[in-house]
Amino acid sequence: MTSKNNVIAMTLQIVGGTLIAVYAFRALALIGEFGGGAAFDVFLQGVIFGMLLIGFGEVIKLMQGLFNQREPERPVEDVEKERRAVLRQAEEHNVPLETRNRIMDFYTKKNMIVDDIEPAPYEGYVIVHHDGQRDIVDLNNWEVEILTEGQLNRNPELKSLLE
């Protein structure tokens, strides 16, 4: 975050601009009484003091931006990174009966006939053969989920199982 916004800097710049305007009106009022030379001196003082305050406010803004560059960036949460971390080698080489029944019920509700269910080499995933096709099924959540093409593209390890 390199934002340069600072309340003190903005206040100094507003005061500097106001100071220039006040001295300009004061110089206009002095023209009639003391002449143009004195009025010009007053106007010049206002411009000098006002520009100093405006410049000082700008320096504070720049310093605020430099200070903010030292702040650590907030980490972006990557949900898929967590999912990839879950991909660890499965110790079981068969699919439990309860899991098979859940998958069979899921596919039956979709009017698909399951030919075979084989375990994937990664924990929480299985490969389902149906109607001459193969799907990678995610069992990590409470629900059975068929991985979409986009999800498989983000997980090249799983996509390689279908090739």
pLDDT (tens digit, 9 = 90+) per residue, 63-120?
A: 888 887 776 666 666 555 554 444 455 555 677 888 888 888 888 888 888 888 888 8
- Residue 24's φ and ψ, nearest 5 degrees, are -65, -45
Give the total residue count for the chain: 163
User: Does 105 share its domain with 146?
Assistant: yes
User: Does 152 share its domain with 99?
Assistant: yes
User: Does 106 share its domain with 154?
Assistant: yes
Residue 73 lies in a domain: no
Spatial distance between the Cα atoms of 38 and 58, rounded to a whole number of angstroms: 30
The larger pLDDT score, comparing residue 136 to residue 79, is at 136
pLDDT at residue number 145: 83
Neighbouring residues of 87: CB distance < 8 A, sequence distance ≥ 6: 122, 123, 125, 155, 157, 158
Residue 72 lies in a domain: no
Domain count for the chain: 2
Residue 36 lies in a domain: yes
Domain range spanning residue 107? 93-158
pLDDT digits (tens, 9 = 90+) for 143-153: 888 888 888 88
Helix (H, G, I), strand (E, B) or coil at 94: coil
User: Does 106 share its domain with 52?
Assistant: no
Residue 87 lies in a domain: no
User: Does 98 share its domain with 58?
Assistant: no
> In which order are the strands placed within the sheet that holds 133-138?
114-119, 125-130, 133-138, 145-146
- Residue 135's φ and ψ, nearest 5 degrees, are -125, 145
User: Does 56 share its domain with 107?
Assistant: no
Spatial distance between the Cα atoms of 62 and 68, rounded to a whole number of angstroms: 10
| In contact, 96 and 70? CB cutoff 8 Å | no
What residues does 138 pair with on adjacent strands? Answer: 125, 145
